[in-house]
Structure 1
Amino acid sequence: MRLGLAANRLHHHTEDAALFRWLRACEPGIRDLRLALHAVGRTHDAIAAAGMLRGYDGLKRYPYGRDGGLMKLVAEVVGLEGAERSLDGAIYFIDPVDPSSIFPEATALKRQCVIHGKPFLSTVASARDWVEMERIHAGLAPDPNADRFHALESQTLALIAHDAMKPQMLAFADAHFDVLSRFAHRMATGTTGLRLNELAWSRGWPQDVPWVERFQSGPLGGDAQIADRVLEHRCQRVIFFEDPHVARHHEADIQLLERAVTTVTDEAVCTTSLAVAKRWCEAVNKRGILVGAT
């Protein structure tokens, strides 16, 4: 697999920056998976200067961002000629107050990942969780250092879907109801929450107990309400099925939630792709069987 890799300056400027925290936790998994990392200039240079991934031929250097490095990642997420010019997703450690995080190429990188159903990993927690997911699918033993990402019974999950994505969210929740029901608490915005509760009751969930806590609809502030829970470390995972093809009149609220997730980069996992969400649920089940067998 090939992933694009970029990090805003905050996340590679010091020894304990987010990029290096992720690499220390996941370098064995990266090597086990033979994961190719196509890193934008300064990100690549920071990894090399820190002496990380030494001798690993899967680390590829791209131009600096100002010279089009991030733009090239966007094009390769879409797909260019030949397998060598195609990326399976992107890791972009975002500093929410860095102006470059809202440059057109940064926004396009996420949008094209969403459109093409590929992982867009913008937090340390998301990137660590993804590596563990792929390790499990590759048949490798569970990493005990990733146990906290699978402690669902002590976590809160947010389920959000734009109008065109609501049928996909309902189908996803129906297919993976048992995994999602393991969370200590679930919440959702507006109509999505109403339909998810109706689904749960139809499956035998107690009629007097909501399966999800309902917040306001997105346009009325539901995204902001959930963002507050994320910032307070009261929501550890967000599954957000976005519709990238229409203009959203509450775009600022959507960006607010995304900025909240990246602010608590080590704590919050965010999934924006239906395909990735399904693959994660499958990994949860496989990992549970492997842990139970040890």
Structure 2
Amino acid sequence: MRLGLAANRLHHRDHDAALFRWLRTCETGIRELQLGLHVVGRTFDAIQASALLADHAGMRRYPYGRDGGLMKLVAEVVGMPGDERTLDGAIYLIDPVDPSSIFPEAAALKRQCVIQHKPFISTVASARDWIESERIHAGLAPDPGADDLHAHDQQTLALIAHDAMKPTMLDFADAHFEVLSAFAGRVATGTTGQRLNELAWSRGWPAGQAWVQRYQSGPLGGDAQIADLVLQGRCQRAIFFEDPHVARQHEADIQLLERAVTTVTDSAVCMTSPAVAGRWAQAVVRRRRQRPG
């Protein structure tokens, strides 16, 4: 398995930066998974200087971002015909106030991950969570260091879907109802929340008791309301099924929620692909069987 890897300058500028917090936590898992990392130039240089992942055979250096390094990752997420450089997803640790985080290649990297049903990982918490899920799928024993990510009975989950993705969200919630019900609370924007509540009542959830707390619809400010919960530490995980093919009038609100997640990079997990979310839910079930409680 191979992932692209990049981090904005804030996240590798000193010893305690986000990139190094993730690597120190997950270096063992990266090696266990024999994970290939195709790393944009400045990020690669920072890792080399830190001595983390020393002698890891899966590391490959790409050009600096200004020389097309991030653009190359976008092409490789899509896949290059007749080339073995196809990536299985990307980790891009984003500083929400770094101008490069909204460059076209940054937006295209996320968009193509969503289109190709591959993980786009933009926070430290998401990167830790993904490593643990893949370890579980590989048959490895649960890492006690990841227990905080799996304390779902103490966490709130946001379930958000754009219009074209609402049926997919309902199918996902139906297929993984028990996993999602284990969270302390669930929140959603307007119409999605209503449909999820109706699904829950059809599944035997107490009639009249909301399975999800509904906020405003996205265009009326629901994304902004949930972004505020994330910033306050009152929402720890977002499953956000985006439609990458449709221009949205409330794009600024969507970006607000995404920026909130990256602002609290160590505590918020975000998943934007139904395939990735489904694989995570399967890993949750397997991990609970191995590490009850």
TM bucket normalised to smaller? over 0.9
Q: Which residue of 2 aligns with 1:64?
A: 64
Question: Aligned partners of 1:292, 1:101: CA distance in 2, in Å?
Answer: 39
Question: Aligned partners of 2:70, 2:51: CA distance in 1, in Å?
Answer: 23
Question: Aligned partners of 2:157, 2:82: CA distance in 1, in Å?
Answer: 39
* Cα deviations by residue, 1:31-83 (Å, 9 ceiling, x for unpaired): 00000000000000000001111011101000000000000000000000345
Question: Aligned partners of 1:265, 1:57: CA distance in 2, in Å?
Answer: 28
Q: Which moved more, 1:4-13 or 1:50-59?
A: 50-59
Where 2:60 maps in the other structure, the secondary structure is strand
Q: Which residue of 1 aligns with 2:94?
A: 94
Q: Which residue of 1 aligns with 2:201?
A: 201
Give the aligned residue type for 1:260.
A
Distance apart, 1:196 and its partner CA: 0.2
* Cα deviations by residue, 1:227-278 (Å, 9 ceiling, x for unpaired): 0000000000000000000000000000000000000000000000000000
Question: Aligned partners of 1:44, 1:54: CA distance in 2, in Å?
Answer: 12
**Aligned residue runs from structure 1 range 197-276, under 5 A:** 197-276=197-276
Question: Aligned partners of 1:41, 1:47: CA distance in 2, in Å?
Answer: 10
Question: Aligned partners of 1:226, 1:116: CA distance in 2, in Å?
Answer: 27
Question: Aligned partners of 1:225, 1:56: CA distance in 2, in Å?
Answer: 42
Question: Aligned partners of 2:80, 2:124: CA distance in 1, in Å?
Answer: 28
* Cα deviations by residue, 1:166-204 (Å, 9 ceiling, x for unpaired): 000000000000000000000000100000000000111
CA shift in 2, pair 1:82/1:148, >3 Å: farther
Where 2:291 maps in the other structure, the secondary structure is helix
**Aligned residue runs from structure 1 range 112-261, under 5 A:** 112-261=112-261
Where 2:265 maps in the other structure, the secondary structure is coil
Question: Aligned partners of 2:24, 2:274: CA distance in 1, in Å?
Answer: 29
Give the aligned residue type for 1:278.
G
Question: Aligned partners of 1:84, 1:40: CA distance in 2, in Å?
Answer: 18
Where 2:81 maps in the other structure, the secondary structure is coil
Give the aligned residue type for 2:52.
M
Question: Aligned partners of 1:83, 1:198: CA distance in 2, in Å?
Answer: 47
Question: Aligned partners of 1:187, 1:169: CA distance in 2, in Å?
Answer: 13
After TM superposition, which residue ranges in structure 1, 4 or more long, deviate above 3 angstroms?
A: none
Distance apart, 1:292 and its partner CA: 3.1
Distance apart, 1:84 and its partner CA: 2.1
Distance apart, 1:85 and its partner CA: 1.3
Q: TM-score, normalised by structure 2?
A: 0.99
Q: Which residue of 2 aligns with 1:4?
A: 4
Distance apart, 1:30 and its partner CA: 0.2
Give the aligned residue type for 2:146.
A
Uncovered stretches (5+) of structure 1, i.e. residues with no partner: none
Q: Which residue of 2 aligns with 1:16?
A: 16
Where 2:84 maps in the other structure, the secondary structure is helix
Q: Which moved more, 1:249-258 or 1:83-92?
A: 83-92
Give the aligned residue type for 2:173.
A
Q: Which residue of 2 aligns with 1:109?
A: 109
Calculate percent identity across the aligned residue pairs. 76
Give the aligned residue type for 1:282.
Q
Instruction: Give the CA RMSD over aligned residues.
Output: 0.8
Question: Aligned partners of 1:270, 1:84: CA distance in 2, in Å?
Answer: 28
Where 2:91 maps in the other structure, the secondary structure is strand
Give the aligned residue type for 1:176.
H
Question: Aligned partners of 1:78, 1:183: CA distance in 2, in Å?
Answer: 34
**Aligned residue runs from structure 1 range 5-44, under 5 A:** 5-44=5-44
Give the aligned residue type for 1:89.
G
